[in-house]
Structures are given as structure tokens and as C-alpha cells.
Amino acid sequence: MLANILESSKNTVFFGGAGVSTESNIPDFRSESGLLTAQKIYGYPPEVLLSHTFFVHTPELFFQYYKKNLIYADAKPNTAHRALAKLEQNGLLSTIITQNIDGLHQAAGSKNIIELHGSNHRQYCMQCNKKYSLEYILIPENCEGIIPKCNACGGTVRPDVVLYEEQLNNESIQLATKAIIAADCLIVGGTSLVVYPAAGLLRYFKGTHLVLINKSETPYDHQANIVIHDSIGKVLSDITEHIFNK
């Protein structure tokens, strides 16, 4: 049924969360195990460790947690990323809206991606705005202790990601809203839809088919046309197999 919807829809948008990347062995730090690990090792929950206030006042511990728990440089795209890229390449998917910061959609070959929370592959100096790669902040020689420093002005280099207490990028929100409004099919996958303001974007969808793919229930299940509680990688790979190998 979902395969038929994808083939008949004129404008399909995918909106994804952490569950899309957990199958690439990138842990969801909001999961129970992630919460317990952060509290046990660092003494704070992830929402505190990754907050703007904590970054400003305790940068050493922020970067210690960030580098160990949010950077997975060796992670590879999984079946979900590859399936979405294939759908886009064949004109069956117009846009990917992601809450993830890992860059795996790009690595899989997807082109039209809106990153609501930024990307840990981009860094910038807070003082002179010079841009840096992910690799730069991982080289000890570029850091003062564990804190990355700009080689031009000596300012702190931070990841281009949205921390707790910070506003989402206005341009990204506008692009995501516009894409959802224009969609006749919206597939939401790998997200519990409890993190706002991102989850609130669903209220802009006025199309025909709302599809939710998540291992557990979400607050929006009752509004969806199709609800699938299963692995997002399995579901999307089965769909592309059905569409392209008839």
C-alpha cells in the first residue's frame, strides 16, 4: 500500500529523527540507556550537557561529552538512508527534513536536505566566524586542552548545531514548513515526535497521506493514515525493493 502511495503521490516529503541513524550504530542519547550513561559518567542529563548555558560556562565538560557521544566519524549510511536516496534519485521523494546532525543522508547521496538541528560536520569560530571541518576539532594540536581554538584569532570553535536553549535556524524552519505545506504525502520516520519545536511542524501538513514509521507509538499515531511499528530501515528497503524490482 505504501509503495502505491509513493508511486502515485506528486510530492512526497520525509521527516526523520534519531531512529533513522540508530541502525548505523549511532546511539540515541535521549534513550533510557543514553540518559543513564550521561548521568552516571558526567553527572548531568544530556539536556543539560548539550545546553547553551552549559557550553558557555563549562566548555571542557561540554566538549568531552560532545566529542565522545555525538561524533561518529566512521558511521556509514544504512538501508534507510540508501532507500531514501534512491527514492529521491528516481523522482519519488522531493525533500528530506532531518533532526539528525550526522550527515549520513548526504553520504548516502541525497541532495535536497533540510537540517533542522545543524550538522556536526560544520564548525565555526565564535569570534571571527571562520569555518572549519569536523576533522579540525578532533586534532589535539588545534585544541586548548579539549576545547577547539581558531587558528586565525584564537577564538573558540564550536559545532554548527542547535543546542538546548538555542533557537532553530529560521531559514531551516521556513524551508521545512514550506516543504510540508506543499507535500501531498508526508512520511515521518524514526522519531517519537515529542521534541519541539520540530515536532510541531506536522501541524502544517494538509496533504492526503500521513505515514508514521516508528518502533514505538507517537502522539500523532491517531492522525496518520498508515502507522507502521517496525524498523525504518526494513520498511523503506522493502518498499524500494517492491517499487524498483517488480
> How would you classify the pairing of strands 143-144 and 118-125?
unpaired
Q: Which residue has the cell 546532525?
A: 101
The Cα–Cα gap between 143 and 145 comes to 6
- The residues near 144 (Cβ < 8 Å, ≥ 6 apart) are none
Q: Residue 177 CA to chain centroid, in angstroms? A: 16
Judge contact between 232 and 19, C-beta under 8 A: yes
Told to judge if 57 belongs to the known catalytic residues of this protein, a careful annotator would answer no
CB 23 within 8 A of CB 233: yes
How many helices (H) does the chain have, and how many strands (E)?
A: 10, 11
Q: Which three cell numbers stand for residue 105?
A: 543522508
* Spatial separation of the C-alpha atoms in residues 62 and 75, rounded to whole Å: 22
- Which of 81, 105, 117, 209 does the annotation list as catalytic? 117
Give me the active site residues, please: 117
